[in-house]
């Protein structure tokens, strides 16, 4: 595979997230804040913030979802907001964007397995 193709491939998840985060926030805004057309101001600010964080993300290559990030670069209040969005919109993406939604489930399972393994390997006092 040539270098350019490889780079494109490695950034695929990052690009997909950039495209779908605004979709998820808009879904949340419609469902939870009752907006009809445009998103509310709060959700617009969250979208801008999330896209800014994604642009600055140090883990763009073969990116995992932010939910499983070991550093989590969001400010605490924004982190809580995006968590609420994920909880609401995640399951609702299953019909419109099944691959995206399923890859979130797979990463969640992997992350839980890794946490469990780490806990088993931690010596008890």
33 binds, options Zn ion, ligand SF4, none, Cβ within 5 to 8 A by partner type: Zn ion
List helix spans (H) across the chain. Answer: 3-10, 12-32, 41-56, 76-96, 98-121
**Other C-beta atoms lying within 10 Å of the C-beta of residue 60:** 16
Instruction: Burial-class residue 50 by CB neighbours within 10 Å (0-12, 13-18, 19+).
Output: buried
Choosing from 13, 26, 43, 93, the residue that interacts with Zn ion (CB under 5 A) is 43
Interface residue list for ligand SF4 (CB under 6 A): 53-54, 57-59, 66, 69, 71-74
- Return d(Cα 7, Cα 66) in angstroms, integer: 20
Asked whether position 78 contacts Zn ion by CB under 5 A, the answer is: no
Rg (CA), the chain: 16
Task: Spell out the residues 6+ positions from residue 88 whose beta carbon is closer than 8 angstroms to its own.
Answer: 27, 28, 31, 32
Tell me the window of 40-48, 76-84, 92-100, 101-109 that interacts with Zn ion (CB under 5 A).
Answer: 40-48
**Smallest separation, CB 98 to ligand SF4 (Å):** 22
**Smallest separation, CB 51 to ligand SF4 (Å):** 10
The residue among 8 and 62 lying less far from ligand SF4, judged by its C-beta, is 62
The residue among 23 and 69 lying less far from ligand SF4, judged by its C-beta, is 69
**Smallest separation, CB 92 to Zn ion (Å):** 15
What is the contact surface with Zn ion in residues (CB under 5 A)?
Answer: 29, 33, 40, 43
């Amino acid at each position: 595979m040539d270098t350019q193709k490889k780079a494109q491939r490695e950034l695929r998840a990052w690009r997909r997230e950039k495209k779908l985060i605004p979709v998820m926030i808009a879904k949340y805004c419609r469902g939870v804040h009752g907006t009809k057309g445009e998103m509310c101001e709060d959700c617009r600010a969250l979208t801008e913030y999330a896209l800014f964080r994604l642009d600055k993300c140090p883990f763009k290559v073969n990116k995992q979802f932010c939910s499983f990030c070991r550093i989590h670069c969001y400010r605490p209040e924004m982190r809580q907001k995006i968590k609420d969005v994920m909880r609401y919109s995640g399951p609702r993406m299953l019909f419109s964007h099944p691959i995206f939604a399923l890859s979130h489930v797979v990463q969640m399972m992997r992350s839980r397995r890794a946490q469990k393994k780490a806990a088993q390997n931690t010596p008890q006092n």
